[in-house]
């Protein structure tokens, strides 16, 4: 029996090492669970257990049926999704205080937008246009909210829909408010995105709203390395957290932030 257990344990270790080797060679170091199961000729349940164990060791990240080697860009994005949740929750709670019944809200994708959707909690009669999968799920059961999902191509790693179809839908919309998140904020460049399509859609969201709110915790103020940016509108409101420096906040005011709200 002991010999049998040792062989079984060796098999598990070898299989998990094989998973890491396969991911190392995969495009963007990412694969679906089903593909891994086929490669290794094991069940999906076995792969899920292996991946869960590897994630506990901080070797991989799971996201929507995909597995990402932890050093990959996608893994870093997935990790960031779960960071600063308490700050995002505080920002969302402050942002919804500006909303009024019977208004139209254009809501961005991302985890801060998800927290906005959670904070709404069916308290307002609203129409919400969103391109975010996460906020869409939270709004689905709120009877007082009419949720309209912008069409287009889904980007699984960012839980975002964008593209020409989403842009075309926005052309026919005039929102009372736009709530936008950001990968990064820079006084000279504006709001950073991970793709050209995302940046275009953010720009349209701002153009088609009476009031623009940018919701960004203090971690979003850093050196600009992204390639795709949406310029700030002439006037906008920033809601951020108390870790943001006074120097940074003054730069934001100089870039058109007519109101800067800091939450704890």
Tens of pLDDT, residue by residue over 121-143, are: 999 999 999 999 999 999 999 99
Q: Given this model, what pLDDT does residue 53 score? A: 82
Residues 117, 71, single domain; the answer is: no
pLDDT, residue 24, reads: 81
* CA torsion angle 248 206 164 111 (round to 10): 50
- 245/8 Cα distance (integer angstroms): 55
Residues 145, 75 share a domain: no
Secondary structure (DSSP) of 46-68 = HHHHHHHHHHHTTSEEEETTEEE
Alpha-carbon dihedral angle through residues 208, 160, 82, 224, given to the nearest 10 degrees: -70
If you count them, how many residues does the chain have? 264
By the 8 A CB rule, do 124 and 145 touch? yes
233 and 186 belong to one structural domain: yes
252 half-sphere exposure, CB direction, 13 A CA radius? 28
Q: Within this chain, do residues 108 and 212 fall inside the same structural domain, yes or no? A: yes
Instruction: Please choose, from the candidates 177, 180, 211, 185, the residue with its C-alpha nearest in 3D space to the C-alpha of residue 198.
Output: 180
Q: What is the pLDDT of residues 198-227, one digit of tens each?
A: 999 999 999 999 999 999 999 899 887 778
65 in the same domain as 38? yes
Residue with tokens 């869409």: 136
The DSSP secondary structure of 67-109, one letter per residue, reads: EEETTSHHHHHHHHHTSSHHHHHHHHHHHGGG--TTEEEEE--
Residue 78 banded pLDDT, cuts 50, 70, 90: low
At residue 2, the pLDDT reads 44
* CB distance 202 to 224 below 8 Å: no
What is the pLDDT, as a whole number, of residue 83? 64
How many domains does the chain divide into?
2
Residues 91 and 215 in one domain: yes
pLDDT, mean of residues 42-68: 84
154-198 pLDDT tens trace: 876 667 899 999 999 999 999 999 999 998 899 999 999 878 999
| Residue 74 confidence class, pLDDT cut points 50, 70, 90 | low
Mean pLDDT of 98-122: 96
The CATH number covering residue 129 comes to: 3.40.50.1360
Segments forming the whole domain that contains residue 142:
84-262
Residues 55 and 107 in one domain: no
Same-domain check for residues 246 and 170: yes
Domain stop point among 79, 108, 131: 79
| pLDDT recorded at residue 128 | 98
pLDDT higher at 62 or 235: 235
Residue 4 has pLDDT above 90, yes or no: no
Last residue of a domain, one of 61, 79, 97: 79
Task: Let me know whether 104 and 182 are in one domain.
Answer: yes
Q: Verify that 35 and 107 share a domain, yes or no.
A: no
Angstrom CA distances, 149 to 18, 102, 107, 113, 166, stand at 40, 18, 10, 14, 9
Mean per-residue pLDDT of the chain: 88
Q: Helix (H, G, I), strand (E, B), or coil: what is residue 8?
A: helix
User: What pLDDT score was predicted for residue 264?
Assistant: 85
- Specify whether 75 is located in the same domain as 88: no
Domain boundary pick from 60, 79, 98? 79
Which CATH number do you get for residue 54?
Answer: 1.10.10.10
Whether 48 and 120 map to the same domain: the answer is no
């Amino acid at each position: 029996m002991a010999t049998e257990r040792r062989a079984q344990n060796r098999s598990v270790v070898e299989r998990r090492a094989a998973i890491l080797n396969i991911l190392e060679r995969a495009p963007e170091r990412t694969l679906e669970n089903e593909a891994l199961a086929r490669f290794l000729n094991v069940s999906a349940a076995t792969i899920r257990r292996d991946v869960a164990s590897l994630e506990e060791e901080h070797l991989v990240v799971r996201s929507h049926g995909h597995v990402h080697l932890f050093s990959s860009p996608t893994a870093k994005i997935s990790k960031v999704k779960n960071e600063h949740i308490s700050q995002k929750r505080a920002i969302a709670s402050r942002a919804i205080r500006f909303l009024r019944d019977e208004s139209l809200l254009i809501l961005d994708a991302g985890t801060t937008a998800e927290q906005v959707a959670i904070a709404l909690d069916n308290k307002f009669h609203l129409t919400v246009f969103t391109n975010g999968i996460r906020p869409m799920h939270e709004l689905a059961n709120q009877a007082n909210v009419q949720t309209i999902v912008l069409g287009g191509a889904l980007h699984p790693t960012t839980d975002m829909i964008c593209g020409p179809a989403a842009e075309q839908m926005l052309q026919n919309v005039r929102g009372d408010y736009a709530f936008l998140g950001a990968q990064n904020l820079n006084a000279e460049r504006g709001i950073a995105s991970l793709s050209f399509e995302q940046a275009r859609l953010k720009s349209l969201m701002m153009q088609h709203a009476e009031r623009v709110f940018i919701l960004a915790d203090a971690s979003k103020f850093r050196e600009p390395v992204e390639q795709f940016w949406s310029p700030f509108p002439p006037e906008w409101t920033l809601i951020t957290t108390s870790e943001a420096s006074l120097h940074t906040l003054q730069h934001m005011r100089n870039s058109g932030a007519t109101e800067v709200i800091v939450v704890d």
